[in-house]
Amino acid sequence: MPCEVSEEVRGWNWSTYPLASPSQLKLSVSDIFNNLCESWRLLYLRYTRQERPYEIDVPVPLLEGSFIHSIFTEATKHAKGLLYHEGLLDAEKFRQGFDDFSRIKFHELLGNFKGIAHERAERIFDRIWGLAAYTYAACLDRFSLRSRYLVPDGLISSVVPLTTESPIDGSLVGLSKSIRPDAILWPTILVELKTRQQHPSDALALTAYAIAFESQYEIPQNFGVILYLRLNQDGGDFKVYERLVQFSDKLRTEFIEKRDRALTILEQGIDPGLPPECSLHCPYIRFCKHDR
Ligand code: SF4
pLDDT digits (tens, 9 = 90+) for 170-223: 999 999 999 999 999 999 999 999 998 899 899 999 999 999 999 999 999 999
Q: How far is the CA of 63 from the centre of ligand 1 (A)?
A: 19
User: Which of 39, 40, 277 to mutate to test ligand 1, by most ligand atoms within 8 A of the CB atom?
Assistant: 39
- Among 50-54, 127-131, 231-235, the minimum mean pLDDT is found in 50-54
Q: Which long-range contacts (CB under 8 A, 24 or more apart) does 195-201 make?
A: 195/61, 195/64, 195/65, 195/68, 195/69, 195/228, 195/229, 195/230, 195/231, 196/61, 196/65, 198/228, 198/243, 201/33, 201/34, 201/35
From atom 3 of ligand 1, which residue's Cα is the shortest distance away?
274
Give, in degrees to the nearest 5, the angle at Cα 77 between 72 and 80.
130
Share of the chain above pLDDT 70, in %: 98
Position in ligand 1 atom list of the atom nearest CA 283 = 6
The answer to whether 190 and 181 have CB atoms below 8 angstroms apart is yes
Among protein residues, the one whose CA lies closest to atom 2 of ligand 1: 278
User: What integer pLDDT is reported at residue 45 of this predicted model?
Assistant: 92
pTM of the model: 0.92
Residue 99 pLDDT more than 70? yes
Q: How confident is the model at residue 16 (pLDDT cuts 50, 70, 90)?
A: very high
The confidence score (pLDDT) of residue 59 equals 74
pLDDT at 136 over 70: yes
pLDDT score of 78 more than 70: yes
CA of 220 to the centre of ligand 1 (A): 37
- Domains annotated for the chain, with CATH where assigned, are 7-53+164-291 (3.90.320), 57-162 (no CATH)
Average pLDDT across the chain, whole number: 92
- Distances from the Cα of 213 to the Cαs of 11, 67, 81, 210, 259, in angstroms? 7, 26, 27, 5, 16
Q: pLDDT tens digit string along 23-34?
A: 999 999 999 988
89 band by pLDDT with thresholds 50, 70 and 90: confident
Look at 29-38, 115-124, 137-146, 227-236 and tell me which has the smallest mean pLDDT: 29-38
* Digit-coded pLDDT (tens) for 235-270: 889 999 999 999 999 999 999 999 999 999 999 999
Instruction: Give helix 60-86 / helix 152-159 axis angle, nearest 10°.
Output: 150
Q: Is the model's pLDDT at 137 over the cut of 60?
A: yes
Place 106 in a pLDDT band, splitting at 50, 70 and 90.
Answer: very high
Q: Measured in angstroms, how far is the CA atom of residue 231 from the centroid of ligand 1?
A: 28
Report pLDDT for 115.
81
Answer whether residue 57 shows pLDDT above 60: no
Instruction: State yes or no: pLDDT of 58 exceeds 80.
Output: no
Ligand 1: residues with CB < 6 A are 36-37, 41-42, 45, 274-275, 278-279, 282, 284-285, 288
Mutate to test the pocket of ligand 1, among 31, 35, 38, 41 (most ligand atoms within 8 A of CB): 41
